[in-house]
Amino acid sequence: MAHPIHDPRNQRIAALLADIRKQRGLLQEEVALRLKRPQSFVSKYESGMRRVDLAELLDILGALDADPHAFIDQILAEPPRSLPR
């Protein structure tokens, strides 16, 4: 069974979070300050090296001033891909 970090959905979440940050014109350091976390935390979840749990996702979306419902809708709108076994 492949490690869950390689699940395409997690990779999509990481990419979308990075896209939103860039659209907002924010640096990773700025998001990290808003989250009261080190910049490496932002770097790791954006690069897919770290998964985020639901509570963290809500905090990150709040720091990005992004609507959690719209974010989830965007993830669900992606065509399903086969998951690693």
Per-residue confidence band for 81, with pLDDT thresholds at 50, 70 and 90? low
Residue with tokens 């963290």: 56
pLDDT computed for residue 85 by the predictor: 46
| Per-state percent for the chain, helix, strand, coil, to nearest 5 | 65, 0, 35
Q: What pLDDT, in 10s, does the model give residues 9-66?
A: 899 999 999 999 999 999 999 999 999 999 999 999 999 999 999 999 999 999 999 9
pLDDT computed for residue 84 by the predictor: 47
Q: Please state the pTM of the whole predicted model.
A: 0.86
Q: What dotted CATH number matches 4-77?
A: 1.10.260.40
What is the residue extent of each domain of the chain? 4-77
- Rounded to the nearest integer, the mean pLDDT of the chain is 90
Q: What pLDDT, in 10s, does the model give residues 68-77?
A: 999 999 999 9
Amino acid at 58: L
